[in-house]
Chain A
Amino acid sequence: MAESTGVLEDPIRKPALVQGDNDFTSITNIVCKVAETPKPPKAWYVTFGISLGLLGGLGASIVYLISTGIGVWGNNQPVAWGWPIVNFVFWVGIGHAGTLISAVLFLFRQTWRTAINRFAEAMTIFAVICAGMFPAIHVGRIWVIYWVFPIPNQMDMWPNFRSPLLWDVFAVGTYFTVSLLFWYMGMVPDLATLRDRATTRIRRMMYGIFSLGWTGSNRHWHRYERAYLLLAALATPLVLSVHSVVSFDFAVSQLPGWHTTIFPPYFVAGAIFSGFAMVLSLAIPARELWGLKDLITTRHIELMCKVIMATSMMVGYAYSTEFFVAWYSGNQYEGFAFINRAFGPYWWAYTIMVSCNVLVPQIFWSKKMRTNMWVVFIVAALVNVGMWFERFVIVVSSLNRDFLPSSWNYFTPTAIDLLTLAGSFGLFLTLFLLFCRYLPQVAMSEIKGVMPQSHPGHGSSEPDPNPEPDPDSDTPPQQGALA
């Protein structure tokens, strides 16, 4: 082995994507077991209970908000957008990794995506649900929110197509629809597997309805593969478009600190960064809890760590570019906005942002750290914290001091702000835990496709005929699993 000889690892020899002595049947068993056991692990009940509690808090805070007014939050003049918009951008960003993993990596034939794509797509859907909630509840009069949709009406009154907020409605709406379709379509063969294995009437009916009469015939597979490819191609530009449009909310305005052309690429990189961090935060406990280590291997985790490191440096580059341009522009308002960001009253938020997003992920240069699950989990959590603060810095520190010093004011969040943020995590985790419990967490049909058994007689370099054992694997490695 490379480590023992002290020589560099042979980069061509990659560990197999599926570890352990697994065949098609055992894969099906591993994944379906989660949805079929009568009792999930205790940890599931505990986290589900906490999530439900937080979800209740979210409901209560929204009822209080709608019955009382936006003033229950800390928003003021000049910080007219506070935490709700910070949370919105945060969640949209989280919702990025899903489609990137499923669509972009699919088109680039990155077969390692199969173990995590279902997971990531589910996370995307739930994150976008959380995100979509915020712009809706943050408006002053939610009862007329439908006016943002171009619905023909007797007044002949259309929304204002110049407003980036309207573009947002379309961008997020499209993204959600396509992601949902993509996720659901990819799940149909697996739902059919669950249907076929179902032991109770209700399970048979529910999985039956949602598997859309899938029989696994050759024609079904053919259409499915075509449609999946087409949807992947459709979803790929959305990965770039949705966060670009979200960034337009800021970039199109004329506020110093928002009015920046770098925002679209910077936001997309940040979104992928935070999305991957969230996938890791969820995947590491899940593979531990449900014994999915053979499918979501250390190699998968490592690859995601590399993506995080790469996007971290892109984000860091964007931070420095912003400063350079603020200085180079010679515009005193622009220059002040950035000096104020780093050294003004919100210096602490800026420090958290830079340390969590740029400094902390550098630890992943070391392979030892990338394969240590505790380190990876903590770094992923810190990245999520850092990315939340990035949005806080952008929204609040720009608004709190703009052109006229007479209007400058500090923003202080209220307890309701905190409850709403915590509650959105409750909503996210509740949905995610339900998904883990009742739906196939890993794309069984796809993962079978990357196993050696699906290429009999092929001496392809991947998977390796002599797979390197995964240090984290549940089952002892078996030489010659191919035979």
Chain B
Amino acid sequence: MAKSTADSLGVENGELAEVSIDGRTMELPVYVMPGHAVGSVTLPLGYGRTEAGHVAGCWEDQVDPVGFDTYQLRSAAGFSAGSVLATVKGTGKAYPLATTQDHHLIDAVGMEGRDNRLGELVREGDLSEWKEHDDFAKHRVHSPPLGAMWDKHEYDGHKWGMSIDLSTCLGCSTCTVACQSENNIPVVGKEEVINGREMHWIRLDRYFQGDIDDPEDDIQAVHQPVACQHCEMAPCEQVCPVAATTHSSEGLNDMVYNRCIGTRYCANNCPYKVRRFNFFNFNKDLKEPRNETLKLVKNPDVTIRSRGVMEKCTFCVQRIQDARMTAKVEERPMVDGDVTPACAQACPTDAIQFGDLNDEKSRVRQAHDDPRSYSLLGELGNYPRTAFLARIRNPNPVLEPASKETKAVVTHG
């Protein structure tokens, strides 16, 4: 439900609310979703999981069921429960909801800081702005000329890079799922997500634009997939005391699991916060005999990490090596399209491009040269390897009368 609806009902995010329709009552957790139609409540249909073994619902080992069976609120009268008005009232009981973002609702100080920087992080413009200045995104942030503390690396062979087009990205999170299965990323469970220890190497950042307290305001959501940017001047590489994260000769920011001792300094110094730490041995249960088949889930080309080491996006280095070997066997140079990381492969809209930046004709190189391209937090002087392509909005003037100027537009110039 919308924030204003929750306020008027007197319920809070994560509070159990009593929902009654036509005499049938259920206690369901409230999840505030800015931009939701005001004055209405969405109940996702599903049965919940009552007997799914150790994942959810196992009475032998006292594992509680998860989820809610909202069908109990519907009657045979028809699919439309809306014919009768639902009543919602708070119970004051809390229900832990695990989300990977906004682990707690952001206070006023945080919201202000967030709003100020949003236009610089996720750069957007509308059609007219793009027609006027097609490189508008590059001018959202102006910084003094950037230097570098060390000599830049030089790349004679390949120079791998990525681009993400925010115009075509739907925010569907398929990349996250593909990455998780490709790279043997542990599923940490609800409790650890609540503790803020999710392991995703690529995540979907989602922000709301507009005043979420104002029921009249038209809330827009913006989103942006963020993985390791493989910075040229990577802040993480400088601070590791044992040199466990280093730059490869092809521009990858490599993570050497065997060398990592787990000081987590790299994670602190990463401005994108894409580094993930194995706070526990999340693969411990693989050793149990009953989990022999689980091993088959794992990708044999990718290391299984134990506890105490840092990990992050590798640009699917195993696929790069595989493509290199294939090309060698076929006695030909590697060409554009030989390497596709899992996220790019799974992306339904081809928003993610990957390839050799040294190859003038590669799609990723063209994307980097696109006027819309910009570097996320490029003003820090990290020289990130991933280019984002600014999102162009072209709303139908009948549906959305005036395009709202983002704050960044106001501050620019």
Among A30-38, A63-71, A102-110, A450-458, the stretch in contact with B: A63-71
Q: For residue B309, which residues in chain A have a CB less than 8 angstroms away from its CB?
A: 140-141
Question: How far is B195's CA from A345's CA once the two chains are assembled, in angstroms?
Answer: 17
Cβ of B116 and Cβ of A332 under 8 Å apart? yes
B235 touches A77 (CB 8 A): no
The 8 A CB mask of A74-92 against B (1 = contact, 0 = none) is 1111111100000000000
A140-B197 in contact (CB<8A): no
Which residues on the A side are within 8 Å of B269 (C-beta)? 253-255
B221 CB-CB contact with A under 8 Å = no
Closest chain B residue to A347, Cβ basis: B109
Q: A69-B307, A332-B116 are in contact. Are A162 and B262 (CB under 8 A)?
A: no
A71, A80, A144, A410: the one contacting B104 at CB < 8 Å is A410
Which residues of the partner chain A approach B207 to less than 8 Å between Cβ atoms? Answer: 405-406
Q: Is the CB of A406 within 8 A of B101?
A: yes
User: Which of A80, A148, A162 is packed against the most chain B CB atoms within 10 Å?
Assistant: A80
Q: Which residues of A contact B263 (CB under 8 A)?
A: 135, 138-140, 165
- Asked whether A78 lies within 8 Å of B262 as measured between CB atoms, the reply is no
Contact between chains at B116 and A336 (CB < 8 Å): yes
- The residues of A that contact B132 with a CB separation of less than 8 Å are none
A342 (CB) vs chain B CBs: closest residue: B109
Residue pair A166, B241 in contact (C-beta under 8 Å)? yes
Which of the listed residues B109, B226, B242 has the most CB atoms from chain A within 10 Å of its own CB? B242
Min C-beta distance of A248 to chain B, whole Å:
10
Judge whether B276 is part of the interface by a CB distance below 8 angstroms. yes
Q: Which residues of A contact B192 (CB under 8 A)?
A: 71
Known: A147-B259, A403-B377. A69 touches B110 (CB 8 A): no
Q: How many residues of A contact B (CB 8 A)?
A: 55
Number of interface residues of B (CB under 8 A): 57
A340, B238: Cβ atoms under 8 Å? no
Task: Let me know if B226 and A140 touch, CB within 8 A.
Answer: no
| Identity of the chain B residue whose Cβ is nearest the Cβ of A135 in the assembled complex | B263
* Inter-subunit contact B262/A139 (CB<8 Å): yes
Question: Is there contact, CB below 8 Å, between A406 and B280?
Answer: no
CB distance from A61 to the nearest CB of B (A): 16
Query: What B residues does A253 contact at CB under 8 A?
Result: 235, 239, 265, 268-269
Check B215 for interface membership: any CB of A closer than 8 A: no
With A147-B259, A410-B104 given, is the CB distance from A163 to B240 under 8 Å?
yes
Please tell me if the beta carbons of A401 and B110 are within 8 angstroms of each other in the complex. yes
CA separation between A71 and B268, bound complex, in Å?
Answer: 16
B57 within 8 A of A: no
A169 lies within 8 A of chain B by Cβ: yes
Inter-chain contact B117/A409, CB cutoff 8 Å:
no
Most buried by B among A77, A159, A345: A77
* A365 surroundings in chain B (CB, below 8 A): none
- Give the complex CA separation of A460 and B239 in angstroms: 56
Majority secondary structure, A binding face: loop
A160 contacts partner chain B, Cβ-Cβ < 8 Å? yes
Interface string of A132-164 (1 = CB under 8 A from B): 000100111100110110000000011110111
Q: CA A169 – CA B265 in complex, angstroms?
A: 14
Does A27 touch B at the CB level, under 8 Å?
Answer: no
Q: With A140-B309, A162-B238, A404-B273 known to touch, is A76 a contact of B268 (CB < 8 Å)?
A: no
Assuming the A-B contacts A339-B109, A344-B109, are A405 and B114 also in contact, with contact meaning beta carbons closer than 8 angstroms in the complex? yes
Contact B106 A159 (CB under 8 A): no
Interface residue A215 (Cβ < 8 Å from any Cβ of B): no
Find the B residue at minimum CB distance from A401.
B110
Complex: A450 Cα to B195 Cα, angstroms: 59
Query: B105-150: which have CB < 8 Å to A?
Result: 106-107, 109-110, 113-114, 116-118, 121
- Chain B residue at smallest Cβ distance from A140: B262
Check: B348 CB closer than 8 A to any chain A CB: no
Within B258-281, the residues touching A (CB, 8 Å) are 259-265, 267-269, 271-273, 275-281
Contact residues in B for A69 (Cβ distance below 8 Å): 278-281, 307-308
> What is the minimal beta-carbon distance from B271 to any residue of chain A, in angstroms?
5
Contact string, A394-434, partner B, CB cutoff 8 A, digits 1/0?
00000101111111111000000000000000000000000
B residues in contact with A157, CB < 8 Å? 243, 259
Interface residue B206 (Cβ < 8 Å from any Cβ of A):
yes
Q: A80-B277, A344-B110 are in contact. Are A140 and B268 (CB under 8 A)?
A: no
Query: Is the CB–CB distance between B107 and A345 below 8 Å?
Result: yes
**Complex A-B: 20 CB contacts under 8 Å:** A69-B280, A70-B308, A71-B192, A77-B277, A78-B268, A139-B261, A148-B242, A160-B240, A165-B239, A165-B263, A166-B241, A249-B265, A253-B235, A253-B265, A253-B268, A254-B235, A255-B269, A401-B110, A404-B205, A404-B272
Can you list the 8 inter-chain pairs with the closest CB atoms, starting with the nearest?
Answer: A140-B262, A140-B308, A71-B279, A76-B196, A406-B205, A407-B273, A80-B264, A336-B113
Given contacts A160-B240, A406-B203, A406-B207, 15 further A-B contacts (CB under 8 A): A68-B280, A78-B267, A80-B275, A141-B260, A141-B261, A145-B261, A157-B259, A159-B241, A159-B243, A164-B239, A332-B113, A340-B113, A403-B271, A403-B272, A408-B110
Binding site for B on A (CB under 8 A): 68-71, 74-81, 135, 138-141, 144-145, 147-148, 157-160, 162-166, 169, 249, 252-255, 332-333, 336, 339-340, 343-345, 399, 401-410
